[in-house]
Amino acid sequence: MDGVEHVFERMVHDHQDRLYALGYALTGNRHDAEEVAQDTLLRAYRALVRYPPERVRELKQRAWLHRIAVNVARNRYRRPGPRMVELNGSEQDAAPGPETRALQRIELDGVAAALACLPERYREAVVLRCVQDLSYAEAAEVLGQPVGTVKSNVHRGLRILRGENNERFDS
């Protein structure tokens, strides 16, 4: 048991920033981002304590955590009701990270808001590949989709983000 606890403590420190970024990019706001990161890690812990030691040892942590986080985030943005999108960094942040210089914050919030406008399938593909820097193979594994599908979703998503596409959002 002690082993799992140490694995988990390391996991939290190694992946908290990545998971927060993932939550931010997928949900479009910092508040949800924090909860996505927190829920993901707690779910991971509950799973880890049930896994046999060799499964814990062989775990591909990055892909595994991203898969959990995508599910956690989906539960949030698929929830009925209005979605929160960060507006020009107006929300107060109790514990600012190093990226908080106001201008940078506003820019990042703009990027997150733009992502939030993408249809879900494009957004998830773009976020995993371009924000989280996963390989296509990893992103495909996380999403449970063929690599080709992920590739084409990334390309379509990017075209929309660049303003090169008038495609209607029909997802």
Q: Which residues of the chain form contacts with another protein (CB under 8 A)?
A: 5, 8-9, 12-13, 16-21, 24-25, 30, 34, 37-38, 41-42, 45, 93-99, 107-108, 110-112, 114-115, 126-127, 130-133, 158, 161-163
Q: How far is the CB of 144 from another protein (least distance, A)?
A: 22
Q: How far is the CB of 127 from another protein (least distance, A)?
A: 8
Q: How far is the CB of 18 from another protein (least distance, A)?
A: 8
Q: How far is the CB of 122 from another protein (least distance, A)?
A: 12
Note the helical H segments in 49-146.
53-58, 61-77, 102-116, 120-126, 136-143
User: Are the C-beta atoms of residues 76 and 32 closer than 8 Å to each other?
Assistant: yes
Return the number of the residue (96 or 146) whose C-beta is nearest another protein: 96
Return the number of the residue (97 or 146) whose C-beta is nearest another protein: 97
User: Are the C-beta atoms of residues 128 and 66 closer than 8 Å to each other?
Assistant: yes
Radius of gyration (C-alpha) of the chain in whole angstroms: 17
Residues written for the chain: 171
Q: Residue 133 contacts by C-beta under 8 Å, 6 or more apart in sequence?
A: none
Residue 80 — left, alpha, or beta (φ > 0 → left; ψ -120 to 50 → alpha)? beta
62: its two tokens: 């990055």
Return the number of the residue (99 or 170) whose C-beta is nearest another protein: 99
Return the number of the residue (15 or 81) whose C-beta is nearest another protein: 15
Q: How far is the CB of 109 from another protein (least distance, A)?
A: 10
Give the CA count within 13 Å in the CB-facing half-sphere of 48. Answer: 27
Return the number of the residue (80 or 102) whose C-beta is nearest another protein: 102
